[in-house]
Amino acid sequence: MINIISFPDFGCGGLFCTLFNKTTIEWNNNFPNTLMNYEHNGLKIGANYMNNWKYEDRDWLEAIDNCKRKFPGKFCGTHIPLNNLKDLSMFDKKVQICTETLSSKLILWLRAHNLIYLPKHSIDNVVKQKQFAKDFMDMTIKPFNGAINIELSNYLFDVKYRKNIHQSNNLPFDKNVFNTWKNKNAYIFNLQKSNVAFNVFYQNIQNI
């Protein structure tokens, strides 16, 4: 059996998989200050919010078989919300990273802004920023019955909430891993540093 964790684009999937699977820190060379591990990408099959989470059954079953063979007992990541998957009977533990709060949506935006828009600033990206801000505002990932549901902003900002998630669900936690990631991604936790990104986000969602 394997475990599944669903997280939205820019939903800190690398961090969660590193913590839950007790793997060593490995940084992603393509996206600075993000964590990379093979389990994190195990169940990603190209489906995302831009195509309404559509996927081919054959691709999904093939990804599951690969994860069973390579990562038995591990958490494997996907961008598809659990309620959009047809059959979850082959998974042991199930985790849903939720984005019901405005703070969670803002975290997605801040990560997209810092990982994509700032490094490649252009007129085209400015247009995309406006659309993505609205997309993230609309991206409400809700709790899934039978899963361990984790609200993204609560997990990152609230120590007691984070501790309870790990203790009550017997999920591994490495304080050094979390703090190292947090220090590398200080813009998420430092409002002053992210002031410009905040303003862009709010300007683009205020007419929704």
- Say if CB 35 and CB 181 are below 8 A apart: yes
Domain tally, the chain: 1
Answer whether residue 165 is part of any domain. Answer: yes
Domain assignment present for residue 63? The answer is: yes
pTM above 0.75, yes or no: yes
**pLDDT per position as a tens digit, 36-70:** 889 999 999 987 777 778 899 999 999 999 999 99
Kindly state whether residue 18 falls inside one of the protein's structural domains: yes
Domain residues for the domain of 87 are 2-101+140-185
Find all residues with CB under 8 Å of 188, minimum gap 6, and list them. 107, 110, 111, 156, 182, 194
Q: Is 52 left (phi over 0), alpha (psi -120 to 50) or beta?
A: left
What does the alpha-carbon distance between residue 70 and residue 164 come to, in Å, rounded to a whole number?
Answer: 30
| pLDDT per position as a tens digit, 142-181 | 999 999 999 999 999 999 999 999 999 999 999 999 999 9
In a domain, 96, yes or no: yes
What residues pair up with 75 in beta bridges, in sequence order? 3
